[in-house]
Amino acid sequence: MGNKDGKIIYSCSVHVEQAIDDYVNFNEAAPQILITNKVLNCTYCDKKAKYKITE
């Protein structure tokens, strides 16, 4: 997963469902799903991140 504490995952549109599943499994809570304008890569691939999955 993205960062070690599981609080933020950046995801492209292809991996958003996997990111949500990983967030819920790690944190046992529902995340907020925000559209991000930051120039960061997806946690799962090299595409530009579209979503920020966070608490």
Domain span at residue 44 reads 8-54
**What whole-number distance in Å separates Cα of residue 28 and Cα of residue 14?**
23
**What whole-number distance in Å separates Cα of residue 39 and Cα of residue 55?**
20
Does a structural domain hold residue 13? yes
Does a structural domain hold residue 3? no
pLDDT at 4: 47
Does a structural domain hold residue 2? no
pLDDT at 7: 86
Q: Are 15 and 45 in contact (CB under 8 A)?
A: yes
Domain count, the chain: 1
DSSP letters along the chain, please? --STTSSEEEE-SSSHHHHHHHHHHHHSSPPEEEE--S--B-SSSSSBP-EEEE-
- pLDDT (tens digit, 0 to 9) for every residue of the chain, 55 residues total? 545 456 899 999 999 999 999 999 999 999 999 999 999 999 999 999 999 999 9
